[in-house]
């Protein structure tokens, strides 16, 4: 069994106290965690808990996800790790010409509206996970979410702020005003919000084990609504969708192994960055020193340069093995100058917004699960009969045939580049931590930053979660949280980083949930952490 790296010094420098339990759920909204715990109390396992929590999150955090989301999962079944890709594909009519004729020459599909929607995959993730690993009846897992949707819930601060910020842009999208602005405005903090249409959908999904969503009455409602407003998604597009079990990517880092879902997701960026950092002795530098943070920032820049250049769903001109090759990453590490910030370009590896939740049970099953509508409420399109808030993952495609990364060029039945990435940590083939961090391209950045704190600097998960973060944007531009030590900020500026200090708790520096296995789950249990940047809860028994 893996041992915790945070056994010496002060592993809890933050003021938030971690939760210890033998059965655990951690989500970004308390009602999501409670939904998962209900299933565990009833004798369900971690998969049942994760599905119930995910369904509840579509109701209580609509600013980040909905019944029309996409999803990914990494799942430790007690013996081995499995990956699940439930992201949806492009409608059959989507081609570069389709978008050029409708919108003229541009580099991406629209960010909002019916032509940003790919087939939603989250429901298929729930069904596929349950078919293979679930214990309780599937319909029972939908019931906590349906109850919340009918009875309503009091809107918490972070969700309310994001709701209020997103409403002006989205209020004219089909179905949005009726679903999410019932008083002609966003709800206030503490105001009761009900979503009875979504309760109807959840019970139909439960009764049909998801079939109604992809081949029945919900699929018909979604496609007819999209077509009514000028889109082209068809019943055939919906019926063709399948979630797929995939082999997770693995990358070693200082005796641990980080696992991520393979492309077209961006999880490989965290693995590349850690592979680069393995060439430096970070532990010899202060945890919050400018020198340590500089190396992490530069490694992340190098990782993003390659990911944006090469990663796509099909036709990648390099392999993931080439991108993660130790010799290649050592060569990339040599490009880092400890004395100055740089703007890196992609190398040549060829030789020769989102909710995240995690659950674990005392049998040892651990689930790392993420689902998302992408930018805020997603497309802004909400099918009214069943309250299906649809993602805008299609915006992740390229529509420019001349763009360097042809692997991400839009095509019928293709998956777009994805930002949402669950993660999992093992040691010597045994489970250590189920974790993830929501928040656009902040996700691999926060994977790397929190793992460096835990592994190199021996901080406990909650402390690593609470610590100040930076966010790389482009070029030399970096945002840092106002809680970062001013001396560190000044040191980074002296190295040439163009820094904007963000003193706004609603700015997105990622929000994570972490479950660290302490030993035998039935005896020693888990350590559970939840990010203070959301309205979340780490809970267990």
Q: Active-site positions?
A: 354
Per-residue H/E/C for 283-342: HHCCCCCHHHHHHHHHHHHHHHHHHHHHCCCCCCCCCHHHHCCHHHHHHHHCCCCCCCCC
Closest by alpha carbon to 299, among 336, 331, 245? 336
Q: Do residues 90 and 358 touch, judged by C-beta distance below 8 A?
A: no
Buried b (16+ CB within 10 A) or exposed e, 177-187: bebbeeeeebb
Rg of the chain in Å (alpha carbons): 22
The Cβ of residue 278 has, within 10 Å, a number of other Cβ atoms equal to: 18
Contact 84, 125 (CB under 8 A): yes
Residues 306 and 310: their CA atoms lie apart, in Å, by 6
Q: Find all residues with CB under 8 Å of 313, minimum gap 6, and list them.
A: 263, 264, 407, 408, 414, 415, 416, 417
In this structure, what DSSP letter does residue 115 have?
G
Place of tokens 């961006």: 266
Between the alpha carbon of residue 127 and those of residues 122, 137, 138, 248, 532, the distances in Å are 9, 11, 8, 20, 31
Separation of CA 321 from chain center: 23
Q: Which helix (H) or strand (E) holds 177?
A: helix 176-180
Q: Closest Cα to residue 435, out of 418, 455, 416, 417?
A: 455
How many angstroms separate the first and last alpha carbons of the chain? 22
- Residues near 520 by Cβ (< 8 Å), separated by ≥ 6? 1
Measured CA to CA, the distance from residue 280 to residue 258 in angstroms comes to 18
Q: Are 114 and 231 in contact (CB under 8 A)?
A: yes
**Cα–Cα distance, 532 to 67 (Å, whole number):** 25
Bridging pattern class, strands 498-502 and 477-481: parallel
Whether the CB-CB separation of 388 and 65 falls below 8 Å is answered with no
Is the Cβ–Cβ distance between 266 and 307 less than 8 Å?
A: yes
Rounded CA-CA distance 466/453 in Å is: 11
Helices 46-60 and 122-133: crossing angle in degrees, nearest 10, is 160
């Amino acid at each position: 069994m893996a041992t915790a790296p945070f056994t010496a010094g002060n592993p809890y420098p933050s003021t938030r106290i971690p939760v210890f339990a033998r059965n655990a759920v951690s989500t970004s909204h308390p009602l999501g965690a409670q939904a998962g715990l209900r299933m565990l109390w009833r004798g369900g396992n971690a998969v049942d808990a994760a599905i119930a929590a995910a369904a509840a999150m579509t109701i209580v955090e609509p600013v980040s996800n909905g019944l029309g989301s996409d999803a990914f999962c990494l799942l430790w079944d007690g013996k081995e790790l499995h990956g699940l890709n439930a992201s949806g594909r492009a409608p059959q009519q989507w081609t570069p010409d389709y978008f050029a004729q409708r919108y003229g020459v541009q580099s991406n599909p629209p960010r909002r509206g019916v032509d940003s929607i790919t087939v939603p995959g989250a429901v298929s993730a729930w069904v596929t996970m349950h078919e293979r690993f679930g214990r309780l009846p599937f319909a029972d897992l939908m019931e906590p979410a349906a109850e919340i949707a009918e009875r309503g819930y009091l809107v918490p601060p972070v969700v309310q702020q994001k709701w209020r910020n997103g409403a002006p842009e989205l209020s004219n999208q089909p179905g949005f005003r009726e679903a999410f602005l019932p008083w002609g405005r966003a709800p206030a903090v503490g105001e009761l919000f009900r979503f009875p249409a979504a309760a109807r959908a959840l019970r139909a999904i439960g009764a049909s084990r998801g079939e109604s969503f992809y081949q029945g009455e919900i699929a018909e409602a979604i496609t007819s609504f999209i077509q009514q407003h000028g889109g082209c998604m068809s019943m055939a597009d919906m019926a063709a969708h399948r979630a797929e079990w995939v082999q997770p990517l693995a990358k070693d880092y200082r005796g641990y192994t980080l696992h991520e879902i393979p492309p077209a997701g961006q999880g490989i960026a965290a693995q590349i960055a850690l592979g680069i950092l393995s060439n430096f002795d970070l532990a010899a530098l202060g945890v919050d020193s400018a020198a340590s943070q500089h190396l992490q920032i530069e490694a992340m820049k190098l990782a993003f340069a390659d990911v944006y250049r090469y990663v796509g769903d099909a036709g990648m001109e390099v392999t993931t093995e080439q991108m993660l090759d130790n010799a290649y990453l050592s060569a990339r590490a040599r490009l880092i100058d400890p004395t100055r910030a740089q703007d890196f370009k992609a190398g040549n590896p060829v030789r020769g917004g989102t909710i995240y939740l995690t659950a674990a049970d005392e049998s040892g099953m651990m689930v790392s699960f993420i689902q998302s509508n992408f930018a805020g409420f997603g497309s802004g399109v909400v099918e009214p009969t069943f309250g299906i808030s649809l993602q805008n993952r299609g915006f992740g495609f390229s529509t420019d045939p001349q763009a360097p990364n042809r692997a991400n060029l839009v095509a019928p039945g293709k998956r777009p580049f994805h930002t949402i990435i669950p993660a999992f940590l093992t040691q010597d083939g045994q489970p250590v931590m189920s974790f993830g961090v929501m928040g656009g391209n902040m996700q691999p950045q926060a994977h790397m930053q929190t793992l460096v704190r835990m592994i190199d600097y021996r901080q406990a998960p909650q402390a690593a979660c609470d610590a100040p973060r930076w966010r790389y944007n482009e070029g030399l531009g970096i945002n840092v949280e106002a809680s970062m030590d001013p001396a560190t900020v000044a040191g980074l500026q002296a190295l040439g980083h163009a820094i904007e200090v963000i003193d706004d708790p609603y700015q997105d520096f990622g929000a994570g949930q972490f479950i660290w296995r302490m030993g035998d789950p039935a005896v020693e249990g888990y350590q559970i952490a939840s990010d203070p940047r959301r309205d979340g809860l780490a809970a267990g028994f």
